[in-house]
Structure 1
Amino acid sequence: MGLVNFMSLINLSVDRIIIHQIFQKTSDKFTMPIKSNDYTNFAPSAMSDFEARVVQSLGVDSKAVTMKILDQNNSQDLPYLVNSCVDECNTDFIESSYQIAEKLARAQFHKSSAISGGIVVVFTGKQGHPQKRLLGILKAELHSGYEKLIDPKTGQISLKHIQELLLTPNSRLFKTVGFCENLNYDPASTDLNDKWTPLIFDSQISKADGKASAEYFYRKFAGCGYLESNARTTKQFFDVTKKFIFQLDKPSEEKYELLNALTTYLKVDKSSAVDPTDFAEKYFDIDTCDNYRNHLIDNEIPTSSFIKDIEHIQSQLKLLKYTFSNNVKLEADPEIFKKDVIVTPIKGEKDENGHIPDWTQIIVKSKLILKK
């Protein structure tokens, strides 16, 4: 599959926009969306502003998450609908776009909590070099006390109000999904992932872990799921391995050594891949290796190698910290710990009750300096 440079959405041009309205759930009876029967026609300057907002929502500097298509076998599935309607004539596309709005409204209706209504903007266009097709769906919440005007003859939602809602810097675009056509895909393939790459923007997405909270939008409505990126897999490996080490029946000093090894393995090791089996064989005994492998499998972490990407855990790899029972703390860069710090458990001095405490001997291959 040849991916277009969709993350930049370069050379974007939107050719048609149609807008419908959906409502917040107020009872057990479903409310059908209001259907627009005509396209929204922006002036050239307004269209440029709208295209800029789309790039802001889905482009390279946004919080958009690349996902994979999961639902594509039923004519009611959004990816299937997108693939079939993207090239429809304007008359047919009005009906398909309304079907999309209704699908979003029903996805919201079946949530236990009431989700705000708003406008559903369905648009098509092209982007990239060479230009490939794009279909986008944007849900924007109406401002409090803000009423739309609908032309009774054409059913078109007031252009002035749409401009105010979509094009002003302070307007909030809550959720957007864009299906971007890939380059050089096999037209005979029956898997829509070969043809389309979905991008999901959600104002509640956390860039730290690439997770969107509105599952009803990306899963129930859009029919998409997470594409397991190398950064996400690396973070999951790090978190699951830390948990495993904490649960080991070993002295704290040994656990610290293993945590140090994990940090060093991901930050200092020059390898471009993470090999969980190699890590286990280097730092665990045979029995622990077997338990660790089962722990990875139980948590759906690959046991074979994968590309290392520490984007989501960089802050956690900056410093390694030792904390002692008397609240003394020692921290340093993992590479410094590896080269210049020796931590050894020793027995302390016998107290008046004859008890010999556990102490820790630390040797730092450097002299102590005073910093202001």
Structure 2
Amino acid sequence: MTLTNLIVNRIIIHQIFQKTSDTMTPPEQSTEYTRFDTKAQMDFDSRVIGALGSDSKAVSMQIIDLDEKGLPALIDKAVNDTDDDFINSSFDIAHKLARAQFEKGRAIGGGIVVVFTGTYGIKDKKILGIMKADIHSGYEKIKTEGGQISLKHIEDLLLTPSSRLYKTVGFCEKTEYDPLSTNPNDKWSVLISDNQISQVDGKAAAEYFYSTFAGCGYPETSARTTKFFYDATKSFILNLDNKTSEEKYELSNALTTYLKLGQSILVNPIEFAENFFDKEVIDEYRNHLKASQIPLTSFTKDVEHIKNQLKLHKVTFSNNVKIEADPDTFKNDILMETIEGETDANGVSQEWTKIIVKSKLTIKK
């Protein structure tokens, strides 16, 4: 999701608490909106884009909870609320998160819940975002007499480089959709960012947030998206004009290794590009993915549809000679380099390939 032209017009903060007994501690409600000065507001907008934008590790999810009391239904109403009504509906959102944490157990800390609305894109589509931020132990009580969470505290907590927003969900209105549709997935794109979600077991660690609270789940099309990413990236590599055949082979091998052996449960196309492509072609790669309708944000890795392609890595030469091996073997035991061969009938040197296999030749009967 590209959050261009983001304008945040309402921010309100509530506080939730860690479970300490068998009775849930009610959240503490703010009754006033948080007002930033111009620079602080720009910093906050940058934080939102950093958490949910195209260069983030936010994961696209689909809405599972279709109940009229679920968060998606509450979002659908709250985004259009008047300022007076939004104070209460945003607190309902905070209360729903507090309940999800309470049901999960005592391991989850309290914090502040930042609820904001705004618009994005050239068509000013609506966005409603929810951030749960940690409260550092050194802070004292943060509610003012006027009913507002301390502005200075919020600036320190949200805008300094050392602070972290460790759980964020954004409901982003789609550019085009059928207004008569009763399926919220037709109207909303949902992005969820969590500092645990990209770890090996991140899916389970964040489940209470994306499922119990947000009412969302991982898309059923993850395997299809992974296959499209693989095919589109392989095509891009093979069409790189500034790379030799040997370099293209190495990049293709990196793609296979990334998908088969990578420890993350997520695929992050831009992260892959920044690790393996020259900087000069990353923008071109972005455009290639967009044209292929591949998300630029992270998505769940599922190699079900490309198991055979990942099982054996194959290179084919112009004389139809083929070498096949699993990705590990190609990476560790096979060396290939381009060398100058004999001259042809026109006196032009041919391009040959020297191959070294770190193994003894075995003749199978």
**The TM-score by the shorter chain falls in which range?**
0.5 to 0.7
> Paired residue for 1:150?
143
- Say whether the 8 Å CA contact 1:63–1:207 is kept in structure 2: no
2:87 maps to which of 76, 82, 94: 94
**C-alpha displacement of 1:162:** 0.4
1:122 maps to which of 101, 115, 130: 115
Q: SS of 1:110's equivalent?
A: helix
- Say whether the 8 Å CA contact 2:335–2:355 is kept in structure 1: no
Q: Write out per-residue CA displacement over residues 150-194 of structure 1, whole angstroms, 9 at most, x where no aligned residue.
A: 122x21011011000000011011100000000110001000000
Q: 1:332 to 1:176 in 2, by over 3 A?
A: same
Q: SS of 1:97's equivalent?
A: helix
> Paired residue for 1:63?
57
User: Normalising by the residue count of structure 2, what TM-score does the alignment of the two structures yield?
Assistant: 0.64
Aligned-partner Cα distance in 1 for 2:313–2:137? 44
2:75 maps to which of 75, 82, 107: 82
Q: 1:50 to 1:233 in 2, by over 3 A?
A: closer
Q: 1:234 to 1:167 in 2, by over 3 A?
A: closer
Unpaired runs of 5+ residues, structure 2, are 231-251, 257-301, 315-324, 337-353
1:38 maps to which of 27, 32, 35: 32
Is residue 2:194 matched to residue 1:202? Answer: yes
**C-alpha displacement of 1:341:** 9.7
Paired residues in the alignment total 268
Aligned-partner Cα distance in 2 for 1:173–1:39? 19
Match of 2:51, as an amino acid?
S
Q: 1:309 to 1:141 in 2, by over 3 A?
A: farther
- Say whether the 8 Å CA contact 1:82–1:135 is kept in structure 2: yes
Match of 2:95, as an amino acid?
E
Match of 1:38, as an amino acid?
E
> Paired residue for 2:326?
320
1:159 maps to which of 146, 151, 155: 151
Larger radius of gyration: 1
2:333 maps to which of 323, 331, 335: 331
Q: 1:56 to 1:207 in 2, by over 3 A?
A: farther
- Say whether the 8 Å CA contact 1:320–1:333 is kept in structure 2: no
> Paired residue for 1:174?
166
Aligned-partner Cα distance in 2 for 1:212–1:90? 36
Aligned-partner Cα distance in 2 for 1:32–1:114? 17
**C-alpha displacement of 1:211:** 4.1
**C-alpha displacement of 1:333:** 7.7
Aligned-partner Cα distance in 1 for 2:167–2:182? 28
- Say whether the 8 Å CA contact 1:209–1:232 is kept in structure 2: no
Q: 1:82 to 1:228 in 2, by over 3 A?
A: same
Aligned-partner Cα distance in 1 for 2:166–2:307? 29
- Say whether the 8 Å CA contact 1:122–1:138 is kept in structure 2: yes
Query: Greater shift after overlay, 90-99 or 202-211?
Result: 202-211
**C-alpha displacement of 1:229:** 4.5
Match of 1:18, as an amino acid?
I
1:112 maps to which of 105, 114, 117: 105
1:16 maps to which of 10, 20, 31: 10
Q: SS of 1:18's equivalent?
A: strand
- Say whether the 8 Å CA contact 2:226–2:303 is kept in structure 1: no
- Say whether the 8 Å CA contact 1:19–1:40 is kept in structure 2: yes
**C-alpha displacement of 1:205:** 1.6
Identity %: 56
Aligned-partner Cα distance in 1 for 2:328–2:78? 59
Aligned-partner Cα distance in 2 for 1:207–1:229? 21
Aligned-partner Cα distance in 1 for 2:224–2:18? 34
Aligned-partner Cα distance in 1 for 2:134–2:14? 12
> Paired residue for 1:135?
128
- Say whether the 8 Å CA contact 2:58–2:193 is kept in structure 1: yes
Aligned-partner Cα distance in 2 for 1:317–1:206? 27
Q: Write out per-residue CA displacement over residues 230-268 of structure 1, whole angstroms, 9 at most, x where no aligned residue.
A: 567648xx9xxxxxxxxxxxxxxxxxxxxxxxx99x96x
> Paired residue for 1:51?
45
User: Normalising by the residue count of structure 1, what TM-score does the alignment of the two structures yield?
Assistant: 0.63
Unpaired runs of 5+ residues, structure 1, are 1-6, 239-262, 268-300, 324-328, 343-358, 364-372
